[in-house]
């Protein structure tokens, strides 16, 4: 078995897997990143404010007439609004970060669903963040206010309002995206039809905080950081690269590292007996760090990892139980056997509280060896479980005439 189920009430998963294994469906094609600026004051959890903000977002599929088929995808730490498709279609261009799961016949089936993904505030891919220009004409840098996951969700609410959607069919995400999805259900319960909580946690653990702090300290120690005032000059590339390498290790498992690299060396079996890159795993991590520097702002890394550390769904309440009493929707909670970043125990804690509250919750534990990133790598398994869950939710909806279909381009 590639997954375990704690109920026996659902359809045969082997036949479901065969159905989803069919013709592997296509990309959503050429897409366009869009931007919307809100002049509203965003009141933040810290007590600070953000006076106006921009969100970068993309949409895939078609919004139906009654606007009931919208799914909000929330991205993880290193993600952005480009979840699927291509910008140019040129040879060698990489698709969006969840392209294999968004499109016709895929996990998030754009023949049925209108999929939205926005870059979080404090990010660096089009949404307002530390690298954005402040009212005084200079980059915010470390003057940018502290952002929490709840603040990210509050900003997304403005986007959903702008799109004219009263209630989301589902809010979904893995890792930090799962935190946002859960927070949506607490902060705006009447606007969430379901939550897909994948390889995430209802609160950051001590170990989570510890690893994030190592990454931040690497950036602080880079002489080019200059307390965040590096814009217009050399960026703290070395510090951000190390931060990414540390983080990337937590996304994998010991088994996957061993199977992928073992003790293989770069040049045959000879060791250099020098401080060079001897082992393949060293070269891999160095490459990951260098690539990350090309697309991510170091200050955004600091702000977003702090938001991860601060995350506790019970923040502002006496307990997790009290916070989750506000929820009204069904949940899919998925954990991964080899995930040591956000462990199965963390997911089960959420499941137990939801069940104590008699909320509708389906729990899946996936046996996979790729670590935390299994929710991205195990495409067929995730499509079977998550896609099947979405199908069952769709089947429960009242049958409605298709009516006028609103195209993505209109937004």
Active site residues: 175, 339, 372
On whether the CB atoms of residues 159 and 55 are closer than 8 A, the answer is yes
Beta strands in 270-353 (DSSP E): 331-336
Burial class (CB in 10 A: 0-12, 13-18, 19+), 15: exposed
All residues at 6 or more sequence positions from 149 whose CB lies less than 8 Å from its CB, including other chains: 176, 179, 180, 183, 307, 308, 310, 311
**Helices 388-396 & 13-20 angle (0-180, nearest 10):** 100
**Helices 298-310 & 206-221 angle (0-180, nearest 10):** 160
All residues at 6 or more sequence positions from 291 whose CB lies less than 8 Å from its CB, including other chains: none
- Quote the CA–CA distance of 311 and 377 in Å, as a whole number: 25
- Quote the CA–CA distance of 46 and 121 in Å, as a whole number: 15
- Quote the CA–CA distance of 125 and 353 in Å, as a whole number: 35
């Amino acid at each position: 078995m590639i997954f375990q189920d704690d109920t026996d009430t659902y359809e045969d998963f082997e036949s479901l897997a065969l159905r989803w294994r069919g013709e592997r469906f296509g990309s959503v094609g050429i897409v366009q990143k869009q931007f919307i600026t809100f002049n509203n004051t965003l009141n933040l959890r810290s007590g600070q404010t953000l006076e106006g903000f921009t969100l970068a977002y993309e949409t895939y599929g078609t919004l139906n007439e009654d606007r009931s088929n919208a799914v909000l995808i929330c991205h993880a730490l290193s993600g952005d609004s480009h979840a699927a498709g291509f910008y140019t279609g040129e040879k060698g261009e990489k698709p969006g970060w969840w392209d294999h799961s968004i499109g016709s016949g895929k996990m998030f089936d754009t023949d049925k669903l209108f999929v939205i993904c926005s870059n979080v505030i404090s990010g660096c891919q089009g949404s307002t963040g530390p690298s954005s220009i402040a009212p005084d004409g200079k980059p915010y840098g470390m003057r940018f206010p502290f952002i929490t996951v709840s603040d990210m969700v509050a900003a997304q609410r403005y986007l959903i309002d702008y799109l004219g959607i009263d209630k989301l069919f589902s809010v979904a995400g893995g890792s930090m995206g799962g935190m946002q999805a859960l927070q949506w259900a607490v902060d705006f319960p009447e606007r969430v039809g379901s939550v897909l909580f994948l390889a995430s946690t209802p609160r950051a653990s001590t170990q989570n905080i510890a690893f994030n702090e190592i990454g931040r300290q690497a950036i602080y120690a880079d002489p080019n950081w200059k307390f965040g005032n590096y814009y217009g000059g050399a960026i703290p590339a070395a510090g951000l690269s190390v931060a990414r390498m540390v983080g990337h290790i937590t996304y994998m498992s010991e088994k996957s590292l061993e199977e992928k690299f073992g003790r293989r060396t770069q040049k045959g079996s000879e060791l250099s007996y020098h401080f060079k890159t001897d082992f393949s795993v060293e070269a891999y991590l160095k490459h990951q760090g260098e690539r990350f520097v090309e697309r991510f702002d170091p200050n955004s890394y600091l702000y977003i990892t702090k938001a991860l550390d601060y995350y506790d769904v019970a923040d502002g309440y006496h307990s997790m139980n009290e916070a989750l009493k506000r929820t009204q929707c069904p949940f899919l909670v998925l954990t991964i056997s080899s995930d040591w970043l956000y462990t199965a125990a963390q997911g089960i804690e959420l499941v137990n509280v939801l069940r104590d509250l008699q909320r509708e919750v389906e729990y899946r534990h996936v046996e996979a060896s790729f670590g935390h990133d299994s929710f991205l790598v195990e495409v067929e398994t995730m499509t079977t479980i998550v896609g099947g869950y979405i199908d069952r939710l769709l089947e429960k909806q009242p049958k409605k005439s298709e009516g006028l279909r609103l195209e993505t381009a209109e937004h």
